[in-house]
């Protein structure tokens, strides 16, 4: 007797990641780091924060998808990731209603 679904009990050995692809991603990440440092030295006014966060998010997406293997995982794994990201966003958004009006209003 077993309590769980047998057919998925052990990780599928389908996708063996390659060396090359990971090195490529690493190169992209390094390039993006260089980019973000360069952009920081240019005065973009209000857009500085936006650009820094944009580049950081792209880097984060690459790490999550390739290094952390989420791209090759199933829908459930992706689903919980999206759900948690959503909750995190919601906290920030509704929390902002207080901040902006208290400190800048």
Q: Does 77 bind another protein (CB under 8 A)?
A: yes
Considering only residues 42, 72, 76, 82, which one is a binding residue for another protein as defined by CB under 8 A? 76
Residue 17 Cβ vs another protein, minimum distance, rounded to whole Å: 5
User: What is the footprint of another protein within residues 39-58 (CB under 8 A)?
Assistant: 40, 48-49, 52-53, 55-56
State the Cα angle at 40 between 34 and 43, rounded to 5°.
145
Q: Is 4 in the site for another protein (CB under 8 A)?
A: yes
Three-state helix/strand/coil letters over 28-62: HHHHHHHHHHHHHHCCCCCHHHHHHHHHHHHHHHH
């Amino acid at each position: 007797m077993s309590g769980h679904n047998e057919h998925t009990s052990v990780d599928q050995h389908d996708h063996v990641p390659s060396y090359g692809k990971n090195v490529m991603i690493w190169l992209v990440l390094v390039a993006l780091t260089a980019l973000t440092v360069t952009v920081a030295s240019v005065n973009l006014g209000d857009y500085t924060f936006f650009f820094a966060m944009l580049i950081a998010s792209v880097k984060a997406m690459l790490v999550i998808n390739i290094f952390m293997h989420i791209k090759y995982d199933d829908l459930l794994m992706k689903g919980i990731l999206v759900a948690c990201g959503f909750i995190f966003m919601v906290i920030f958004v509704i929390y902002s209603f207080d901040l902006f009006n208290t400190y800048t209003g």
